[in-house]
Amino acid sequence: MSSNRLRRAVRGIAVLCLLGGLSAVASAQVRIGVGVALPGVRIGVNIPAYPNMVPIPGYPVYYAPQLDENLFFYDGTYWLFADDNWYSSTWYNGPWYPVEPYVVPAFILRIPVGFYRRPPLFFRGWARNAAPRWGEHWGPQWRRRRPGWDRWNRRQLPPRAPLPGYQRDYPRGRYPNAMQQHSLENRYYRAPQRIQLQPRPERQQRNQYQQRNGRQQRNERQQRQDQRPGERPPR
């Protein structure tokens, strides 16, 4: 083989390798994108009508025994475990919001394995009447940030939040968008509640940011007052 032919062959092989690498990257990006929820985006779970939610004995949580989904209701919010991720929503079919494992409520983590209608493979061999071994699954960093999540006084359980039964009137054909959902929540669910619900994770993060920002603004105002020239201190 001549040197020119050899160079062309090497270049061709290099191009094929490059294209193969780009294809692998693209497919990996597609796989990563599947199941990731952003506000207003669904995650492939389709619940056509308001599900039958049943209390889990000994827990302030409901589950949906007739669905082929790991759907729960706790503290005014639906919780869904799919593709090794937790999602939350105030409506039974989303839109779903991703929730980091570090901030998932303890009582959701404590749900026994036997109440997962679609248990993941890593649940195999775990006791059905005990909580999943989240510390074993998510690792030492998660365990350090969530100590004691599996310990509580079983005689002092918080009351179950009321189910949003008004959502029965909104099956697939009448399912509201996010803005309509918020209006319906305020009209039919939030107002008549008699128990204190915990804010959703995204609201908690927003409230914490507002508190930090408010403290920073107060400190800056105080510093400006302390530095004003020509003012005498009060006697």
Chain segment 198-234, per-residue pLDDT in tens = 445 545 544 454 455 556 656 666 665 665 555 444 4
C-alpha span between 69 and 80 (Å, rounded): 8
Cis amide prior to 95 (ω within 30 degrees): yes
Q: Where are the domains of the chain?
A: 1-33, 54-201
**Given a cut of 70, is residue 149 above it in pLDDT?**
yes
Q: What is the pLDDT of residue 18?
A: 40
CA dist list (Å): 151 to 62, 109, 112, 199: 20, 11, 13, 22
Please give the average per-residue pLDDT across 60-76, as a whole number: 97
Residues 121-140, buried b or exposed e (16+ Cβ, 10 A)?
eebeebeeeebbebbeebee
> What value does the mean pLDDT of the chain take?
77
Please give the average per-residue pLDDT across 151-177, as a whole number: 94
> Among residues of the chain, what percentage have pLDDT more than 70?
63
Please give the average per-residue pLDDT across 53-66, as a whole number: 97
User: 121: pLDDT confidence band, cut at 50, 70 and 90?
Assistant: very high
Q: What is the pLDDT of residue 216?
A: 60
Contact criterion met (CB below 8 Å) for 214 and 91: no
| Beta bridge pairs of residue 70 | 81
* Rounded to 5°, angle at Cα 50 from 46 and 51: 85
